[in-house]
Amino acid sequence: MPEGHTIRRLARTHTTRFVGHEVAVSSPQGRFARDAELVDGRVLQRADAHGKHLFHVYADDLVVHVHLGLYGKFSLSAGEVTPPRGQVRMRMVGPTHWADLRGPIACEVLTEGEVEGLRSRLGADPLRRDTDPETAWARISRSRAPLATLLMDQSVIAGVGNVYRAEVLFRHGLDPLLPGRELGRERWEAVWADLAVLLADGVRRGAIDTVRPEDRTGRGRQVYVYRRTGQPCRVCGTEIQRRTHASRNLFWCETCQAAT
Residues catalogued as catalytic: 2-3, 52, 248
Which distant-in-sequence residues (6+ apart) come within 8 Å of 136 by Cβ? 123, 124, 156, 157, 192
Q: Which helix (H) or strand (E) holds 16?
A: helix 4-17
**Share in percent of the chain as helix, strand, coil (round to 5):** 30, 25, 45
Give whole-number Cα distances, 248 to 142, 172, 178, 209, in Å: 24, 21, 17, 21
| Type of residue at 132 | D
Spatial distance between the Cα atoms of 26 and 90, rounded to a whole number of angstroms:
6
Contact yes or no for 46/19 (Cβ under 8 A): yes
Identify which of 40, 39, 92, 105 has the alpha carbon closest to the alpha carbon of residue 66.
105
Residues 166/250, Cβ–Cβ less than 8 Å? yes
State whether the Cα torsion 116-138-164-196 is positive or negative. positive
